[in-house]
């Protein structure tokens, strides 16, 4: 859900006239949003609350806010929205009030408790449908149906069968269900960082990122597209939402790319690919990285450090693709009129103080993320107070708290829905059986298993928020990789990476669809072009599985450098093959040779590296100096054809 969508939804939810009731409802929604954010600060910093209760109250506030802010309809549906909000809140309050007694009964639950649990599961599905759309809600329904009727399936896919009371109680009253690990991370680390991100937004740090990108790449070949890559990487790391990132930076970068000569399809695709990478870029990496740290029992700083090189390679792949695309279309210079200067960036650098505090405390001082984010919020508050005057000081804080609540709402909802899926998988044992089935299907072949895992990760991630997608994949797919000897960190990063890339993978490419709305192009065409531009980055997860040095796992400086060099060469030549350009348009035979070179460089053995480097040198020389007349002639013909096609696309 994008920031604009959130605002539009809240406005629509109260835009039913000018009655006092409507005005009061709008005020109530705003107040509830502020209370939601204040509760997260209170529960994480000012008190020690049992995790189950904290998780439950987190979803209770999400229900209270979500059903009112995302109404079923106009006027006459208001009573239903209010009823669902109150029923959900009270049902969770009832479970929380009985929690201490339930823990003493060792898994024995009263009928009233299982009834409340069933109501909570049903309302989680409806909240998911309203806030995130039908895809994830339908996926949850499919898994619940499997819990009820899976006993009818034959072989390894079947289970013993469970009564309704058992399913409902397991999904709500255990740490494997709705109030389990996923919501726990949302209620603690994610909520704190979302509040921090909201304060960054209102203090102008996001605009500062765009100004930096403009200064670095604004006047380069294909400058506006490179501005999109840099700005979206910086913003995406903070926001953690690919679609939200597109909506934020895309309103500036997409029109600029179109003005510079890129087609509407290409402009939307570049922004979608650039924004998607923000969720794998430290220091924040979105919500999924915090969940990964919890599942691996590792410090968040370990995950962030391991993700540095893959994130750099991702953006290198996108940057090279954009450069080749601009050169192939002869977009020599971006016609920007920006007055951004280094002096201006330096003078306004104080806007980055909260982010610098966060990075220093997490990566250098190694403080806990919660502690670091809390003090970074404090720095942002001080910064905002200094920037504001009079009543604006209070309004600035209230605005940030309100924005944070609406940013937390889709994350909390996605985590609760993911908890339903994970709960079913754990109850039925399907999670463990799925890993064994994948290993058996691959026949013990790691390369085949990686491909199967990639495909399943992309499919399960389609239309599902990155955090929810990772949680599902961490249970279903990652254990299979670990079983074949892949380090746990590499396995989890592999599925996290491809679950994120599903944002630009047709047919359900959420980030591409948002970009298409801004660019005015066909959503399906933008999704296909985004997949094409981002496809060079598909090599990177295979690289850090075969070469864990890229994740800095037990790596020497020499091994890291060696793996980084071969990975970079592989990305460059795959990008050249995809765009069909390297010092000029490449004929088909040279593009196929570039793909072969890239594959050789991915496989981390001494002989494949030697063969790949030799092939890269030969291919580089052939394209740079145009060694064969036939290739020059074919290149000239292809150049004319490509330019005519690009002209028709504009």
Chain mean pLDDT for the chain: 79
Instruction: State the pLDDT confidence band at 629, using cuts at 50, 70 and 90.
Output: low
Is the pLDDT at 12 greater than 80? The verdict is no
In tens, the pLDDT along 221-236 reads: 556 667 767 777 766 6
DSSP 8-state secondary structure symbol assigned to residue 587: P
Q: What is the mean pLDDT of residues 119-147?
A: 90
Q: How far is CA 330 from the centre of its chain?
A: 33
Q: Could you count the other beta carbons within 10 Å of the beta carbon of residue 75?
A: 12
Is the pLDDT at 6 greater than 60? The verdict is no
- Quote the CA–CA distance of 618 and 628 in Å, as a whole number: 13
Tokens 């006993």, residue? 151
Top-confidence residue, 316 or 459: 316
Q: What is the mean pLDDT of residues 395-404?
A: 86
How much is the pLDDT for 601?
85
> Lowest-confidence range among 125-129, 468-472, 480-484?
468-472
Instruction: State the pLDDT confidence band at 334, using cuts at 50, 70 and 90.
Output: very low
**Number of residues assigned to the chain:** 650
pTM tops 0.85? no
Q: Are 75 and 61 in contact (CB under 8 A)?
A: no
Q: Are 449 and 542 in contact (CB under 8 A)?
A: no
How much is the pLDDT for 244?
62
How much is the pLDDT for 18?
45
SS3 246: helix
Nearest to 542 by CA among 501, 591, 509: 501
Instruction: State the pLDDT confidence band at 56, using cuts at 50, 70 and 90.
Output: very high
In tens, the pLDDT along 484-537 reads: 888 899 999 998 888 888 778 876 677 777 778 778 787 778 888 888 888 878
**Whole-Å CA distances, 96 to 59, 83, 152, 375:** 12, 20, 35, 30
Q: What is the mean pLDDT of residues 273-278?
A: 84
Tokens 């030969």, residue? 618
In which region does residue 366 sit, left (phi positive, over 0), alpha (psi from -120 to 50) or beta (all else)?
left
> Residues with Cβ < 8 Å from 294, sequence gap 6 or more?
181, 184, 185
In tens, the pLDDT along 552-577 reads: 877 778 888 888 888 888 888 988 88
DSSP 8-state secondary structure symbol assigned to residue 506: T
Q: What is the mean pLDDT of residues 266-278?
A: 86
> Lowest-confidence range among 66-80, 341-355, 584-598?
341-355
Tokens representing 597 are 């070179």
Q: Are 452 and 441 in contact (CB under 8 A)?
A: yes
């Amino acid at each position: 859900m994008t920031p604009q969508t959130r605002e539009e939804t809240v406005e629509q939810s109260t835009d039913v006239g000018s009655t006092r009731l409507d005005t009061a409802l709008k005020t109530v929604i705003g107040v509830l949003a502020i209370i939601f954010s204040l509760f997260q600060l209170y529960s994480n910093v000012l008190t020690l609350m049992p995790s189950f209760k904290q998780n439950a109250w987190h979803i209770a506030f999400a229900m209270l806010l979500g059903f009112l802010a995302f109404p079923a309809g106009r006027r006459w549906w208001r009573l239903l929205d209010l009823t669902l909000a109150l029923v959900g809140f009270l049902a969770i309050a009832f479970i929380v009030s009985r929690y201490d007694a339930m823990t003493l009964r060792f898994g024995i639950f009263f009928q009233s408790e299982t009834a409340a649990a069933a109501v909570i599961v049903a309302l989680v599905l409806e909240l998911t449908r309203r806030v995130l759309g039908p895809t994830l809600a339908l996926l949850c329904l499919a898994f619940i149906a499997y819990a009820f009727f899976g006993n009818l399936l034959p072989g390894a896919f079947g289970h013993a069968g469970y009564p309704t009371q058992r399913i409902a109680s397991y999904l709500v009253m255990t740490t494997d269900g709705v109030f389990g690990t996923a919501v726990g991370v949302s209620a603690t680390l994610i909520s704190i960082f979302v509040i921090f991100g909201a304060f960054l937004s209102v203090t102008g740090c996001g605009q500062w990122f765009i100004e930096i990108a403009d200064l670095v790449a604004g006047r380069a070949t294909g400058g506006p597209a490179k501005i999109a890559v840099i700005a979206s990487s910086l913003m995406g790391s903070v926001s953690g939402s690919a679609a939200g990132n597109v909506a934020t930076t895309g309103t500036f970068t997409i029109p600029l790319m179109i003005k510079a000569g890129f087609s509407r399809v290409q402009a939307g695709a570049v922004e979608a690919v650039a924004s998607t990478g923000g969720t794998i870029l430290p220091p924040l990496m979105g919500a999924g990285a915090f969940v990964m740290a919890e599942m691996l029992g590792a410090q968040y700083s370990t995950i962030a450090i391991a993700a540095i090189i893959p994130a750099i390679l991702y953006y290198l792949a996108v940057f090279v693709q954009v450069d080749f695309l601009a050169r192939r279309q002869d977009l020599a210079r971006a016609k920007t009129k920006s007055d951004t200067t280094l002096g201006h960036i330096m003078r306004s650098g104080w806007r980055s103080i909260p982010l610098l505090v966060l990075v220093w405390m997490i990566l250098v001082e190694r403080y806990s993320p919660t502690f670091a984010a809390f003090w970074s919020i404090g720095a942002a508050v001080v910064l905002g107070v200094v920037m504001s005057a009079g009543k604006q000081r209070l309004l600035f804080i209230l605005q940030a708290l309100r924005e944070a609540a609406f940013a937390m709402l889709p994350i909390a909802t996605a985590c609760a829905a993911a908890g339903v899926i994970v709960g079913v998988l754990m109850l039925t044992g399907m999670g463990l059986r799925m890993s064994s089935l994948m290993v058996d299907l691959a026949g013990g072949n790691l390369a085949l298993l990686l491909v199967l895992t990639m495909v399943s990760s992309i499919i399960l991630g389609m239309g599902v928020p990155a955090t929810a997608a990772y949680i599902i994949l961490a249970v279903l797919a990652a254990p299979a990789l670990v079983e074949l000897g892949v380090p746990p960190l590499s396995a989890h990063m592999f599925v996290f990476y491809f679950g994120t890339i599903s944002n630009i993978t047709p047919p359900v490419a959420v980030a591409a669809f948002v970009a298409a709305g801004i660019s005015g192009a066909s959503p399906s065409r933008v999704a296909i072009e985004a997949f094409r531009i981002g496809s060079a980055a598909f090599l990177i997860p295979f690289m850090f599985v075969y070469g864990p040095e890229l994740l800095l796992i037990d790596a020497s400086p020499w091994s890291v450098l060696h793996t980084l060099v071969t990975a970079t060469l592989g990305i460059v030549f795959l990008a050249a093959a995809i765009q069909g350009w390297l010092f000029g348009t490449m004929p088909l035979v040279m593009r196929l040779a570039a793909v072969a070179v890239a594959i050789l460089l991915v496989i981390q053995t001494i002989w494949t590296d030697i063969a790949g480097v030799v092939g890269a040198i030969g291919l580089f020389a052939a394209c740079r100096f145009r060694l064969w007349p036939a290739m020059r002639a074919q290149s000239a013909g292809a150049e004319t054809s490509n330019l005519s096609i690009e002209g028709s696309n504009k």
